Amino acid sequence: MGANEQAVATALTRANSRLADGCTPLLKNHWYVAGLAADFTRELRERTFLGQSLVLYRTLAGQPVALLNRCPHRSFPLVHGSLEGDLLRCGYHGLTFRQDGSCGEIPAQATVPPGVCTRSFPVAERGPFVWIWMGDPAQADETAIPDTSWLVDPAWNHVSSYLELDANYVYLHENLLDLSHFTYLHPTTLGTPEYARTPFDVEVDGSRVRIKRFVKECDLPPIYAKTGIKGKISRRTESEFVSPAIHHASALMTDLQAGAGQRSDFTILITHFATPQTQDTTHYWFAFARDFALNDPQVDEYMRSSALTAFNEDRHALQEISRIYRSEPKAPETEIHIKSDKAGVAMRRIILNLAADEQG
């Protein structure tokens, strides 16, 4: 038994109670995606993050705003109010709030007592997405927002979409770190028959977890069928848990039959954004970027729809697993781990530690 087998055997017998699961407290001190930039407009919009209902809008100057969706007076959702310039006026008693959450006016009385406010959450726009900080505002450091620069780089094209997931976000991350399910759950989109058996490397780097796989020769996965790549390829994939909010995946496909002078390398970058909506539900955005077939709306449409098909298969699996967990609360504790879980198990231990740190 080699060192790796030994590690797997250890993982197999490790108590699940030391891993994050659907009951682990949600992590607040991270930047999460709050929505597309296009979701922040002059129309008030309600969205829930980490169990808190927020109201989202954009100032006249174009700045995205996220306030607690609750008037501090009688808890009426502010989303039913209206914007008067940059003031949000509550639709019940007419109190107004500035974008920092402070109260501007209480119509029924002459003055505003000190301290009347609703909570304002730090937000920052980065390319096509707006990020939000739900934790301690003093720790909100915009330089910690994960890099997604290729989403605004003209050398890349991307399509994006959204799914609401009726499952805890930890299980989404576990699914994303596990490439061995492609063959079985996604046979008509992402998987090819030999994929589940391919060896892989797992690297743990601080609070990041990376898994790498190289398939020397295989058929093109169906999802890339209409992108112009043809025939046999080699497939080098990397999948990384970057933070509780984001997972990066890349696939380098090399056309093994490309003639001299023909392009042989094609890269895909898939960015998955997981934002806990509640303990049991998750906002799931994803962006599918490519460095080939640029500016081709037909490829855009094909990849968007293929990605939605594939990720809906994951969604269905995760929701069905959650259904089993709800009916048999002890199920996750009795689960066994297999070799291909190594990355997911590492990630779940990291999330558990982060949660323990936040709970102090």
Q: Which of 241, 271, 244 is nearest to 31 (CA)?
A: 244
Q: Which of 25, 28, 39, 76 is close enough to bind a copy of itself by CB under 8 A? A: 76
148 vs 340 by CB, closer to a copy of itself? 340
Q: How far is the CB of 107 from a copy of itself (least distance, A)?
A: 4
The residue count for binding a copy of itself (CB under 8 A) is 56
Q: How far is the CB of 225 from a copy of itself (least distance, A)?
A: 23
- Separation of alpha carbons 269 and 287, rounded Å: 8
5 vs 153 by CB, closer to a copy of itself? 5
- Window 224-253: residues binding a copy of itself (CB under 8 A): none
18 vs 184 by CB, closer to a copy of itself? 184
Is residue 316 classed exposed, middle or buried when 0-12, 13-18 and 19+ CB atoms within 10 A define those classes?
exposed
80 touches a copy of itself by CB under 8 A: yes
DSSP characters for 36-99? EGGG-SSS-EEEEETTEEEEEEE-TTS-EEEEESS-TTT---GGGSEEETTEEEPTTT--EE-T
331 touches a copy of itself by CB under 8 A: yes
Q: How far is the CB of 98 from a copy of itself (least distance, A)?
A: 17
Q: How far is the CB of 154 from a copy of itself (least distance, A)?
A: 39
75 touches a copy of itself by CB under 8 A: yes
324 touches a copy of itself by CB under 8 A: yes
137: Cβ–Cβ under 8 A, 6 or more apart, which residues?
A: 121, 122
The single residue listed with the structure tokens 């989403």 is: 151
H-only helix segments in the chain = 3-13, 169-176, 182-185, 297-327, 342-359
The interface region with a copy of itself, picked from 26-34, 108-116, 120-128, 239-247 by CB under 8 A, is: 108-116
Both tokens of 29, joined, read 């001190």
The interface region with a copy of itself, picked from 6-14, 158-166, 252-260, 284-292 by CB under 8 A, is: 6-14
The interface region with a copy of itself, picked from 136-144, 210-218, 288-296, 334-342 by CB under 8 A, is: 334-342
113 touches a copy of itself by CB under 8 A: yes
102 touches a copy of itself by CB under 8 A: no
293: Cβ–Cβ under 8 A, 6 or more apart, which residues?
A: 157, 227, 228, 299
* Distances 157 to 1, 106, 137, 246, 253 between C-alpha atoms, Å: 45, 49, 34, 19, 17
191 vs 271 by CB, closer to a copy of itself? 191
92: Cβ–Cβ under 8 A, 6 or more apart, which residues?
A: 71, 73, 74, 76, 80
- Measured N-to-C along each axis, helices 342-359 and 169-176 cross at an angle, to the nearest 10 degrees, of 150
Q: Which of 30, 50, 133, 178 is close enough to bind a copy of itself by CB under 8 A? A: 178
149 vs 327 by CB, closer to a copy of itself? 327
Return phi, psi of residue 136, to 5°.
Answer: -65, 115
323 touches a copy of itself by CB under 8 A: yes
Residue 251's beta-bridge partner residues? Answer: 237, 268
- Separation of alpha carbons 304 and 217, rounded Å: 26
15 touches a copy of itself by CB under 8 A: no
The interface region with a copy of itself, picked from 5-13, 36-44, 132-140, 265-273 by CB under 8 A, is: 5-13
180 touches a copy of itself by CB under 8 A: yes
327 touches a copy of itself by CB under 8 A: yes
Helix (H, G, I), strand (E, B) or coil at 263: coil
- Separation of alpha carbons 251 and 81, rounded Å: 46
Binding site for a copy of itself (CB under 8 A): 8-9, 12, 48, 51-53, 69-70, 72-77, 80, 89-95, 106-109, 113, 116, 174, 178, 180-181, 183-185, 196-197, 317, 320-321, 323-325, 327-328, 331-332, 334-341
